[in-house]
Amino acid sequence: MMDCKGLVILLISVTAVLGQRTRQQFFRTRPQDSFVSEGGRAIISCVIGNLGGRVQWTKDGLTLGYNRELPGFKRYSVVGSDESGIFNLQILNASLHDEAEYECQVGPNGTNKAIRESARLQVLLAPTSVEFEGYTSGSQLVVQESTEVELTCRAKDAKPKPDIVWYIGGVEITKGRREDEDEKGTSDKRMTVASTLRFRPTAMDNMKTISCEAQHPALTAGPMTASLQIFVQYPPGQPEISGYTPGEPIKRGSRVSLTCRSKGGNPAATLTWYKDGERIDSSYTNIKDGSTNTYEFIAQASDNNAEYSCQAKNDLVKKPLQAAIKMLVQYGPESVEILGPTEANLGEMLSFECVTSESNPPVDIWWVVDGRAVQGNHTRTLSSETGGWITRTNMTVSIGARDTVKNIQCQAINQAVKETKVQTHTVGVLYPFERPRIVGYSEEDTLVGGQQEKIKCTAQGGYPLASLKWFHRNTEVFSEYSVGENHASAILYLTPNMTDNGAVYRCVATSRAAPEPTEVSVRLAVKYAPTAVKIRTSPERLRQGTEATLVCESGEANPPATVVWIHDGVPLTGTTEVDLGSYGGRVTRNVLKFRVKTEDDGSVFTCKAQNEVGEALDAVTMSIAYAPRFPEVANPVEVVEGKEFVLNLTANGNPGQMTYRWTGPNGVVLGGQGLAAVNGGLLNISRATRDMAGTYTVTVNNSEGAADVKFLLDVLYAPRISSLTEYVMLEVGETAVFDCFFHSNPVKYDGIFWKKQTEDEEGLVDVYGTDPGVSVEWESVDGNGVNARLVMRNVTESDVGRYFCAVSNGIGGETLRETFLLVKSKPKMVIRQSSKSAAGNRETAILVCRAQGAPNITFTWRRMSGELGGGSKYEVFNRRVNPLEWESAFHVMDINPADYGIYECTARNALGLSKTQIILQQPSAPEIPRNFHTVNVTADSVILSWIPGFNGGSEQIYRVQYFQQHAGSLYNQPSYYDVYPMNSTSVLIAGLSSSSRYAFSIQALNDLGESAYTPDIEVHTLAAADTGSSSSSSSNNQPLVDGLTDTTSQNVPIIISISVGVCGTLLLLLSVILISCLVHRRNREKRSSATSATTTRSLSSSDSSTKSAAQDGLFNGSQGTSCYNDTMSEETMSEISEKSGSFISPHDGRISGLPHLLPEGYRPHAVSTYLTEQIGGIYSVEQGREIGFTSSNLPLGKNQFTTEDTESQYADELRRQAYIQTLGDGYNISQIGSSISYPNSPVGEYFTNSDMIESELQSTDINHPDNQPQHICHNNFVSGAQTLGRASNRFGSRKSPFQVVIPSTAAIVGGGGAAGNLSTPPVCSTPQNNFNARFPILAGLASPNRNLGEFSTFGGNGCGQATTAGKSREDGGHEPSGHLV
């Protein structure tokens, strides 16, 4: 029984073994050759049945690895699952580099043998372009009908070569000749196909599209096509004319419309109308299948027998095609003319002929004489060249005894067009006129000279009417001739004068009907005024005391004139004489005699001649010869020094040709040049000087005698201080005496003052009057010299200051000169504005400190955070501003963030010291101005003043905002005024409205921003009457603002004001939101930077040094350390700056308000470089400091770092090689050395607490004050390194700004102190000695811009090397280990 059971078990075991051997792994789906388009996705199938071994793919023999993600081949992956046996190879974004033979390999496992199967992947390259040779796709192909066309189409750079198909009008071309040729592409695997097609297009192919289509399997979206539009040219058809039937008569004036049409033609034919060979219209229109031209006109006589032709032509017609017609037009004559005499005598026989212009057909002519029809004698009809007819007929008429006028008519009638043309001809019968007569003047009338008169001459009857003309003596006089129904007249318009008195005027009448002229005449009588008066003087040269005779003679007058003399408005009596004139009038004379006086020189004597008609005037100015006489002159003559002055001493005399001689002080003769120049009687002083003062003499003479005058010239000048006690230095309680010597003219003792400058330097106050210990004395020296003395008794420190000797005398302004009273005391700091200074990176900051005191003052500077180091970092320039005030300028060169902080200036002298603090900060927007107030107000302007605030480190300007306040207004439109020049502290705002209320505020601006506006101050402008004429101008003056005006001057509607206000409010709210976002973002960056700095400090400095730095307010890195990697290139640092926004953060103990962000332009100097972003991720440098490894960049996973069989080791090695391959050709494994840590290796866990955050790293060190951090002098870490980088996820959701490599405690060998639970190497440590050699990457931290000297941040380096400690201050205060200088 037992044997049976054993046998059964043996059989079952053998069967199972045999069954296992028969279950071999196999390919369910074998890899097949396939193709993929470039850029597409390729899938090579590989499905395994009874999977036993591990599966991998190879590419041309290169293994890709067992991992489905295929590290090192980003576009490759193995899709499917092990359970299903699907191991399909997927390739994304395929390219030519992927064209290869791929093999699916299944490794052995137990009894399963290895199997493999390969397939080739072909990458299809679509054509890069399809184009016509010589043509651009979409353009037009212009050909002529039946002309062979050759087109070549190329499909370029395809793999494999594409197929080309030709289409015309959407139909494949099967006719014509086609040749295809293969060409090489731009690479070996690409092909270009050129297809040439030859064909003859017809008119049916016009405007069709011919296309070349490239077909290729890689064109999944459809074939590529290039196309052309065919434009087939062919000739037009024969033109045809419609709208008129040849031979059909039309009447003149009818509208004719001729249409010419030509069918076909491409391009369409141009149609042109011609009349008798001359072009008349070319405005044709294209229509479907042809073109047309319609010419419309009104038929005229010239159109009769005219030929109208139409010509058709296009590019294919050499000789134009033509159609023509001839017109037949009927019309009557345009004119009828009667030829014959217009005058006749009684009994004459007259002949007349009537001639018509052209007509078609000929006309019939009828004669009508005095209303009766008369038969013509003979009629003729003649043809014209234009196809019309001319008709001529004649007749005879006799003049009877009773005939005075014969009226003759010729009527031309065209029966065809129903038109009649009539012409009238009049024949006059000659007979004489009646005797003429004169109307409008008789012999009893008298004319007035100068007044226009009208005299008319009239002649009745006669044929023709009489011709009338006026004559004076034998000369024709112009007259106005006119004719009436049976009379003629001539009007004489006459303005008589004395020559017309007694003159005879004749009217002469003539006519063809009168054998002799007939005339009538009239004699004129004229009254006229004297034409002029004439004055004679005797003798010609008048002198005082002699007798003068004046004779006035009037011109001829009718009636005689009365002559009188007038002098100074008073009539004078003389002797009158009357004589007969030349034209019947009288001439009158008046003789006046008188004794000559000097006062008569220049006086006027008037002669007046007058009668009832008019008057005549003349005058004579008396010229009396006498010696010169000077005008009265003030003595002395005063002139202000430096001013221009003109003195007029022109003498009166006759003759006026006088000679002047000017003599100045000391007998100097003045000439026409210099500061004091003379011109005749004028003294012209261009600029008065003191040496011009003195006595002047002026002499003048003419032919009648001479005269002279003397005067004193007094030159007035403003006070001029020639000497003043420079300064007085005294002990408290002593007496100060100041002497002030000056000259002035005049001297006014009530204009002498002693003043002292106020402490705020805003003004001056008198120093005497209320203090009995102060007295003022003066004494006169040499006339215009005065010595003024100020005596101050029992002086105190409050008397210290700047004093002024002030003198005025009403000439010019007040004269001031300063001196100083110094009372020996310790220095007193002078604080005028803000105790701040600003400078940007790499700039030089200047800190200015001023102090007052006596005796001499010296200055010392220090930083509140510690002593200042030596070297060329700082320069100090001291100077004495004046005897009272001293100044020290402290220059900080090559500013970096560590230089910002508080500096202390100490002023010392023998009696003590004073201190002040000045803050050095980054440039910023200016501070708000202070003490904004009103200086002066008028009706239309206001003067404002203020005290500048801190300018932020650059020049500042000011902007004034103001608006007029209206009662009940919903919105006040502000106006703005930018104050220039820069740094002004007052401004005039003009163009305001009178009696109005305004609100003003001011802000400061510089390149970095602007301050807030000051609170509004209210100003009430004065009423217009308060400033006189200012009211009239204020309405015209506009405010001097930047394009804005007060709303009241613009009459802005309330709706516009509300709209503008709402828009402005919305914009303001939007600005506030944006600014808030920016501030929030900046604060967040500051907090991030502060956290980064805290972590760095905890890893780089001891507890004691950190505490010291915090107490002193030092910046991280200022003690000879580097918190950025100097080995970075400038470009790398720029990228870090853009990402982080900050290189260096201040300690928590920094002074509040100090800036800690480096400006964007800051660039540290790089002494060496290394690759930071192209290494493929193994080095990751973020925000400037340390080097670390991120776990996501390392090649192995934690669960894979185990001991496996040979196949697993082989797989790991493949993955390692693939990862190293991604690092590029420039990678060297020695760069990593033993520092490469695989975080998931058995020794990779450094921290057991995976949730430790950055702040805990710092607290770990703080909680163990006894464990001093050591300098690490080893770059070979025994244990694995833990990554604290951005990608390690050890900081939770918050990203760390640094990636720091922290070795384990075991890594610290040879340390100089006891190690705690956690010891970290200094991140921002000073590279020194052996440490530099061991860490070459950090060796570049010693920038050439640093002067380390003997200072070091750290007390010990942990390598047994001594470090020099910073010396202690004498006051025992805590000092840091060193200071950056």
Q: Tens of pLDDT along 910-958?
A: 999 999 999 999 999 999 999 999 999 999 999 999 999 999 989 999 9
> Edge-to-edge strand order for the sheet containing 547-554?
533-538, 547-554, 586-595, 575-580
pLDDT band at 1306 (very low <50, low <70, confident <90, very high): very low
At 1228, phi and psi to the nearest 5? -125, 125
Q: Which residues of 1246-1261 are buried (b: 16+ CB within 10 A; e: fewer)?
A: beeeeebbbebbbebb
pLDDT band at 716 (very low <50, low <70, confident <90, very high): very high
Evaluate if residue 1087 carries a pLDDT over 50.
yes
At 718-762, the pLDDT tens digits run: 999 999 998 999 999 999 999 999 999 999 988 999 999 887 777
Write down the pLDDT at residue 459: 92
CA-closest candidate to residue 457, choices 494, 497, 499: 494
CA-closest candidate to residue 497, choices 608, 580, 583: 583
Q: Give the burial class of 639: count Cβ atoms within 10 A of its Cβ; 0-12 exposed, 13-18 middle, 19 or more buried.
A: buried
Write down the pLDDT at residue 1179: 30
Looking at per-residue pLDDT, the higher value among 650 and 204 belongs to 650
C-alpha span between 647 and 913 (Å, rounded)? 65
CA angle 990, 996, 1000 (to 5 degrees): 60
pLDDT band at 469 (very low <50, low <70, confident <90, very high): very high
Evaluate if residue 766 carries a pLDDT over 60.
yes
Evaluate if residue 31 carries a pLDDT over 90.
yes
At 474-492, the pLDDT tens digits run: 899 999 999 998 899 999 9
Write down the pLDDT at residue 189: 82
Write down the pLDDT at residue 758: 85
At 243, phi and psi to the nearest 5? 110, -10
Tell me the three state secondary structure of residue 1079: helix
Q: What is the DSSP string of 695-758?
A: EEEEEEEETTEEEEEEEEEEEEEEEEEEEE--EEEE-TT--EEEEEEEEEES--GGGEEEEEE-
pLDDT band at 1322 (very low <50, low <70, confident <90, very high): very low
Looking at per-residue pLDDT, the higher value among 272 and 1244 belongs to 272
pLDDT band at 1126 (very low <50, low <70, confident <90, very high): very low
At 41-97, the pLDDT tens digits run: 999 999 999 999 999 999 999 999 999 988 889 999 999 999 999 999 999 999 888
Write down the pLDDT at residue 400: 85
Q: What is the DSSP string of 1087-1121?
A: HHHHHHHHHHHHHHS-HHHHHHHHHHTPBTT-SS-
The answer to whether 388 and 378 are in contact (CB under 8 A) is: no
pLDDT band at 1054 (very low <50, low <70, confident <90, very high): low
Evaluate if residue 1142 carries a pLDDT over 80.
no
Q: Which residues contact 916 (CB under 8 A, 6 or more apart)?
A: 829, 831, 835, 849, 904, 905
At 521-572, the pLDDT tens digits run: 988 889 999 989 999 898 888 887 888 899 999 989 988 999 999 988 889 8
User: Which of 792-801, 941-950, 1308-1317 has the least mean pLDDT?
Assistant: 1308-1317
- Residue 1186 in tokens: 């340390």
**What average pLDDT score do residues 650-665 get?**
90
Evaluate if residue 108 carries a pLDDT over 50.
yes
pLDDT band at 515 (very low <50, low <70, confident <90, very high): confident
Distances (CA, A) of 1316 to 252, 1254, 1268, 1308: 130, 18, 8, 11
C-alpha span between 661 and 809 (Å, rounded)? 35
pTM of the entire predicted model: 0.38
Distances (CA, A) of 970 to 805, 966, 1001, 1057: 56, 9, 20, 8
C-alpha span between 785 and 24 (Å, rounded)? 136
What is the residue type of 1350? E
**What average pLDDT score do residues 235-260 get?**
90
CA-closest candidate to residue 274, choices 255, 254, 260: 260
> Edge-to-edge strand order for the sheet containing 682-685?
645-648, 682-685, 676-679
pLDDT band at 461 (very low <50, low <70, confident <90, very high): confident
Looking at per-residue pLDDT, the higher value among 10 and 568 belongs to 568
Looking at per-residue pLDDT, the higher value among 129 and 1337 belongs to 129
Q: Which residues of 988-1018 are buried (b: 16+ CB within 10 A; e: fewer)?
A: ebbbbbbebebbbbbbbbbebebbebbeebe
What is the residue type of 223? P
C-alpha span between 167 and 175 (Å, rounded)? 11
**What average pLDDT score do residues 430-439 get?**
88
- Residue 1014 in tokens: 């000051």
Q: Which residues of 129-139 are buried (b: 16+ CB within 10 A; e: fewer)?
A: ebbbeebeeee
Question: Which of 528-537, 1247-1256, 1297-1306 has maximum average pLDDT?
Answer: 528-537
CA atoms within 13 A on the CB side of 913: 11
Looking at per-residue pLDDT, the higher value among 151 and 1083 belongs to 151
Going by their DSSP bridges, the two strands 997-1006 and 1009-1010 should be labelled as antiparallel
At 173-229, the pLDDT tens digits run: 887 788 989 888 888 788 999 999 998 888 888 889 999 999 999 888 889 999 999
C-alpha span between 839 and 1260 (Å, rounded)? 39
Q: Which residues of 1027-1038 are buried (b: 16+ CB within 10 A; e: fewer)?
A: beebbeebeeee
> What mean pLDDT, rounded, does the chain reach?
77
pLDDT band at 969 (very low <50, low <70, confident <90, very high): low
Evaluate if residue 617 carries a pLDDT over 70.
yes
Evaluate if residue 1175 carries a pLDDT over 80.
no
Evaluate if residue 648 carries a pLDDT over 50.
yes
Going by their DSSP bridges, the two strands 774-781 and 764-766 should be labelled as unpaired
Query: Across the strands, what pairs with 88?
Result: 79
Q: Which residues of 54-73 are buried (b: 16+ CB within 10 A; e: fewer)?
A: bbbbbbeeebbbbbeebbbb
Distances (CA, A) of 524 to 436, 504, 988: 19, 6, 84
Q: What is the CA radius of gyration of the chain?
A: 63
pLDDT band at 1215 (very low <50, low <70, confident <90, very high): low
Write down the pLDDT at residue 1162: 38
Evaluate if residue 656 carries a pLDDT over 60.
yes
- Other CB atoms closer than 10 Å to residue 776's CB: what's the count? 17
At 256-272, the pLDDT tens digits run: 999 999 988 888 889 99
Evaluate if residue 660 carries a pLDDT over 60.
yes
Looking at per-residue pLDDT, the higher value among 690 and 971 belongs to 690
C-alpha span between 503 and 526 (Å, rounded)? 9
